[in-house]
C-alpha cells in the first residue's frame, strides 16, 4: 500500500503553537508536493457576561469586525507560507473549532492534519478537553500534533 499525501489541513489560531505546527505542515507539503490548506475557526460570538442567563451575544457589527480582522491575519499567514511553498490556500469559518476542523478535513478530503497543541492542564483540561485530542479521536485522516519546543514536559 502506498501512502499518498496530496492535501494537508493545518488549523491556525495565530498562537506560537500553531505557527510552529505550520512549519511542519509546510515541510510536509513541500516534500510531498501537496496542497496546504490553512484553516482558522472563529468561535461562536457568545461571551460570558452579566446578562440574565450569564451570557450575551456580541452585536453583528462586532462579529463582522472580528471576522474581517481574522481574515486579514489568516491571509498574512498564508502569504508568508507561500514564500516557502506555492500551493497554499486559506479558509475562514465560524463555529466550534473541533467540529469545524473535522468537518473541513472531510469536505476537503485531507490526507493529513497538522496542528499545534496547547497543553491545557488541570481543571481546564478536565472540563474542556483539548481541541487537538478531540480532533485526533474523530478526524477522518491521520493527525500530527506538534508541541512548541518551549513547552517542555516536566516530570512530576
Please tell me the predicted confidence (pLDDT) of residue 64: 86
Q: Is residue 42 part of a domain?
A: yes
pLDDT tens by residue, 101-135: 999 999 999 999 999 987 545 444 444 458 999 99
Cα–Cα distance between 123 and 51 in angstroms, integer? 25
Query: Of 96, 84, 66, 63, whose CA–CA distance to 19 is shortest?
Result: 84
Q: Is residue 2 part of a domain?
A: no
Give the global pTM: 0.84
Q: Is residue 1 part of a domain?
A: no
Q: Is residue 155 part of a domain?
A: no
Q: Which residues contact 17 (CB under 8 A, 6 or more apart)?
A: 116, 117, 118, 146, 147, 148, 151
Tell me which residue range forms the domain holding 66: 7-146
Q: Is residue 153 part of a domain?
A: no
CATH number of the domain bearing residue 69: 3.40.50.620
- Number of domains within the chain: 1
- How does residue 62 score in pLDDT terms, banded at 50, 70 and 90? confident
| 60 three-class SS | helix
Q: Is residue 27 part of a domain?
A: yes
Query: Of 52, 44, 154, whose CA–CA distance to 99 is shortest?
Result: 44
Q: Is residue 152 part of a domain?
A: no
Taking residues 142-150, what's their average pLDDT? 86
19 vs 47: which has the higher pLDDT: 19
Retrieve residue 113's grid coordinates.
Answer: 492534519
Q: Is residue 128 part of a domain?
A: yes
pLDDT tens by residue, 4-40: 999 999 999 998 889 999 999 999 999 999 999 999 9
Amino acid at each position: 500500500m502506498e501512502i499518498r499525501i496530496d492535501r494537508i489541513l493545518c488549523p491556525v489560531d495565530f498562537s506560537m503553537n500553531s505557527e510552529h505546527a505550520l512549519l511542519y505542515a509546510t515541510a510536509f507539503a513541500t516534500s510531498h508536493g501537496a496542497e496546504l490548506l490553512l484553516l482558522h475557526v472563529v468561535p461562536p460570538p457568545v461571551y460570558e457576561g452579566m446578562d440574565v442567563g450569564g451570557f450575551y451575544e456580541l452585536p453583528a457589527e462586532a462579529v463582522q469586525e472580528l471576522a474581517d480582522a481574522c481574515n486579514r491575519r489568516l491571509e498574512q499567514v498564508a502569504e508568508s507560507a507561500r514564500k516557502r511553498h506555492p500551493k497554499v490556500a486559506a479558509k475562514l469559518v465560524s463555529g466550534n473549532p473541533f467540529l469545524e476542523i473535522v468537518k473541513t478535513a472531510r469536505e476537503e478530503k485531507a490526507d493529513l492534519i497538522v496542528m499545534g497543541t496547547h497543553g491545557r492542564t488541570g481543571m481546564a483540561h478536565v472540563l474542556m478537553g483539548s481541541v487537538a485530542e478531540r480532533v485526533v479521536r474523530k478526524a477522518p485522516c491521520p493527525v500530527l500534533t506538534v508541541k512548541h519546543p518551549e513547552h517542555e514536559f516536566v516530570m512530576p
